[in-house]
Amino acid sequence: MTKTILIVFLTFIVLSCTDINQGENTIAKIENLRAENDSLRKIVAEINTKYVFDSIAIRDIPSFRNTYEINSKLSGEIVFVGYNVNKKTNVILVDSFSYNPKRLYNPDTLKLQNGGFIYETKLNAERIKLEGIMEMQNDYGKAYEGFYNSLIGVKKN
């Protein structure tokens, strides 16, 4: 009988030690997961304060075929340097716009081709003004919205 009690008692001790070790392992795993979660939250918070590609530049590249003569066609390309092909980046040329509230008059969205937005217009006066709005949005990071103005004049001899 004493042997049976001793065996049962030793079994309970061994099982209770195993439970304590498993509890300590679980607590350690939870602490590691919390630390990893906190570091991932910091990374996501940092990404949400940046553009996905960290910076953005906009270029208006006139076509080399432009003659800048009265009533001639003008063409060019507006390029976002560091663009995303995600259907959330736009260039919209307008006749005019107002800032507060934002309102676009006669908007024309340009098509994206190889990272650039191709435009074509007519130089039908001594000077013409191209105006527009540029938008860039991502699932992560900052969105960008900027106004575009360019003055183009006739080439004088």
Instruction: Sort strands 72-81 and 57-62 into parallel, antiparallel or unpaired.
Output: antiparallel
Contact 65, 75 (CB under 8 A): yes
Instruction: Kindly give the residue spans of alpha helices, DSSP state H, lying in the chain.
Output: 2-47
What's residue 141's pLDDT? 76
Rounded Cα distance between 112 and 83, Å, is 10
User: What is the pLDDT at residue 126?
Assistant: 87
Cα–Cα distance, 96 to 110 (Å, whole number) = 16
Nearest Cα neighbor of 152 from 126, 120, 134 is: 126
**Long-range pairs for 22-26 at CB < 8 Å and ≥24 separation?**
none
Q: Going residue by residue through the chain, which has 157 residues, state the pLDDT in tens, using 9 for 90 and above.
A: 677 776 766 666 666 655 566 667 788 888 888 988 888 888 888 878 876 665 566 778 888 888 888 888 989 988 877 766 667 777 888 888 887 888 888 888 888 776 678 888 888 888 888 888 888 887 777 788 888 888 888 887 6
- The answer to whether the beta carbons of residues 111 and 118 sit under 8 Å apart is yes
For residue 152, the one-letter residue type is: I
pTM of the predicted model as reported, rounded to 2 decimal places: 0.51
What local confidence, expressed as pLDDT, does residue 8 receive? 66
Q: What share of the chain is helix, strand, coil (3-state, %, to 5)?
A: 30, 40, 30
- Quote the radius of gyration of the chain (alpha carbons, Å): 32
- Angle at CA of residue 155, ends 157 and 77, nearest 5°: 155
pLDDT at res. 83: 60
